[in-house]
Chain A
Amino acid sequence: MNILAPIDKIDDVEDVIKAGANELYCGVVSDEWLDRYTIAAINRRPANICNLKSFIALKEVANIAHSYNALVSLTLNEHYYTQDQYPLLLEYIKKAIDSGVDSFIIADLNLIFALKDANIETSINVSTGISVFNSETVKFLQKLGVQKVIFDRHLTIGEVREICQNVTDIEKCVFIFNSRCPNVDGLCTFDHIQTAETSFKNACMLPYTVSLYSETSAQKDSKSEVIADDKALVALKRQKLWTRLHMDDVPCGACALYDFEEMGIDCVKIVGRGNEIKRKINDVKFIRMLLTLLQDKTISRNDYIKQTQAFYKYVYRLPCRTAMCYYPEVRSI
């Protein structure tokens, strides 16, 4: 099983590969794009810190990665691009191909059509932004010539297994570490603006004032309010879960690696464009160590999970928490 890991600087490449990554993904900021489209990002990470600064840097990244037999994917994973953006987008794609990238990570069906139309044969990896929840979606994407699918985060281990049993001849990738998005990535239409202004942080985690809703209470200037009983008060607290917790407080799905190995998952994805290099290395090493542990075919599922949980506590100094567990059902299977 490969590890797909993020990089955002040339200096990251060797370190992340040596830590155990076989595939890298990254984005490139283009000044022309930023000038024209500002917060309408090209890859859902408009901030400089999350991106390589040029195609020259991308070429160097590809050269280093290829010298270690590692692959490089470029993120073109905005949920949609408009006709107005295509001339610039296709120019950008040509520069990326000239830089030596191995594949594109894509979330917009129309971009797949556009690549085919332009006779571009670079491998297409479908991002979680296309929302793959079932085997029929995989079959649909196969007809479009897709080589790899990254499944949606919001699938249980059993649901992933069922898809794997029903599809062949396509690479399958699942999320394993960081950013447990509260919402379905491909069906979330909140803006992904990255700014220092706190009100423009992720809209899913803002400190909202929450109350019970009714048509009457929603009328402008209404004085009427739905009175919450004890149960409703608990429910109101639950609604603020993503204000109390941060989706990036080291969420992890490593206990599920045992099952993913068994069902033939090809690749696991670590999120983290923009993270410090120390963190990137740590995360890759953590997952690589567990994959190495799985090479011992005599290890039982229970023993593997126990060791994984102990290792997580040791490395991250944090207990396992349901809210930060990608596959919390793992303990009850």
Chain B
Amino acid sequence: MDEGKAIKRALYVTKVKNLECYDENFSRIYFGCEFCQRLLPSVKNLQQVLEFVSEKNLDFTFITPYVTNDGLKKLDALLQIIENNNPGSEVVFNDWGVFNLLGEKYKNLEPVMGRLLNKMKRGPRLKDLMGIMPQSTADYFRTCSLDSPLYRKFLADNGIKRVELDNLLQGIDLDLGDSAINTSLYVPYAFITTTRLCLAISCDVSGKEDEIGIFPCKEECQKYTFQHVHSIMPVPLISRGNTMFFKNENIPSEDILAKNHVDRIVIEPDVPV
């Protein structure tokens, strides 16, 4: 990363209505969903966002979830629209199958490795353990495979120039060497875990409290958000739909951001499900 390069801000919306959070400090819009293929946007909503982006002369990033073959088909149709209307857009992939599809079919879209794929541990219990671990163990929890030259070579060979990161409670300390990879930091919601055995499905139907499976849903996730508190967790866990998050609003210092090649902060105005 160039020394002293200004950090840009992107607004991450999962719904069109959240575009109302846009202001002139943002240079890019992230749109889509990382966690559930059932929440992939409709063609109409995608077009609305693309129009907004074009009107305001903003950059665009489409953000995608892990998907089954069915989800891949839906995604394929959306990617086609983006490539036709906004070539050069970024696509954040959180599934190696989506990455494969991008490489095979969408040469005019820029692949970005999503935060679900860096695998860094986010369990909040770790925060209070950092001081009592051996240094080599603590170091492990602040980094990931990105510090391997082999992994960075794979990314470079496949045209991946950007990697997405969560704002970990235990801190981030990547060793990216002299690589040209840039990173984005998501604030304030960091994902912890996700499931297809979604606890929101039929969640308010009496008699189904102990049923769990990959069943049809009515997007109950859009109705309820929960907070989970336990004395061992230094922060509350927030769950919406099939995913659990914690909130961390403390953006690291400029030095730390620069060391980790962070040149973009992705602002989540709402829990991103």
Contact = CB atoms under 8 A, between A and B. Distances in A.
B78 interface: no
B125 A134 contact: no
Contact of A131 (B66, B220, B228): B66
A193 B137 CA distance: 13
Interface string B84-102: 0000000000111111110
B203 interface: yes
Contacts of A203: 123, 125, 233
Interface stretch (B8-16, B17-25, B114-122): B114-122
Interface string A232-258: 101111110100110000000000000
B113 to A, nearest CB: 11
Given A189-B121, A235-B203, A329-B214, A212 B227 contact: yes
Interface size class of B (residues with CB under 8 A): 35 or more
Interface in B175-222: 175, 191-197, 199-200, 203-206, 208-215, 220
Contacts of A328: 211, 213, 215
B151 A110 contact: yes
Contacts of A235: 200, 203-204, 220, 224, 226
A231 B238 CA distance: 19
A237 B230 contact: no
A184 B66 contact: yes
B147 to A, nearest CB: 5
Contacts, number: 243
A164 B193 CA distance: 27
B66 to A, nearest CB: 6
Interface residues of A, number: 82
Nearest to A137: B97
A293 B42 CA distance: 46
Given A109-B154, A140-B99, A189-B119, A156 B228 contact: no
Contacts of A211: 226-227, 229
B69 interface: yes
A265 interface: no
A325 interface: yes
B209 to A, nearest CB: 5
A153 to B, nearest CB: 9
Contact of A208 (B121, B194, B229): B229
Nearest to A323: B212
Nearest to A325: B213
A209 interface: yes
A155 B66 CA distance: 12
A37 B145 contact: no
Contacts of B237: 208
Interface string A189-224: 111010000011001101111111110011000000
Given A36-B134, A82-B148, A241 B199 contact: yes
A38 to B, nearest CB: 5
A244 B210 CA distance: 9
Given A134-B68, A156-B214, A323-B211, A209 B150 contact: no
Contacts of B126: 191
B52 interface: no
A67 interface: no
Contacts of B129: 39
A132 B116 CA distance: 14
A182 B228 contact: no
Given A83-B147, A200-B125, A184 B230 contact: no
A209 B230 contact: yes
Contacts of A237: 209
A166 B119 CA distance: 28
Contact of B228 (A184, A238, A239): A239
Contacts of B151: 109-110, 113
A261 interface: no
Nearest to B213: A328
B90 to A, nearest CB: 19
B100 A136 contact: yes
Contact of B71 (A35, A134, A139, A186): A134
A134 B97 contact: yes
Contacts of A236: 226
Contacts of A208: 228-230, 237
Given A80-B144, A82-B140, A191-B121, A234 B228 contact: no
A292 B95 CA distance: 37
A80 B226 contact: no
Given A154-B214, A199-B232, A209-B229, A159 B68 contact: yes
A101 interface: no
Interface in B30-77: 66-72
Interface in A117-149: 117, 130-141
B83 interface: no
B247 interface: yes
Among B203, B211, B226, residue most surrounded by chain A Cβ atoms (within 10 Å) = B226
A243 B66 CA distance: 26
B231 interface: yes
Interface of B: 66-72, 94-101, 116, 118-123, 125-126, 129, 133-134, 136-137, 139-141, 143-145, 147-151, 153-154, 175, 191-197, 199-200, 203-206, 208-215, 220, 224-233, 236-239, 247
Given A162-B69, A328-B211, 11 more contacts: A80-B118, A82-B148, A110-B148, A130-B96, A154-B197, A155-B68, A159-B70, A184-B194, A187-B94, A238-B209, A245-B210
Listed from nearest, the 5 A-B pairs whose CB atoms lie closest are A136-B97, A137-B97, A154-B196, A231-B204, A208-B228
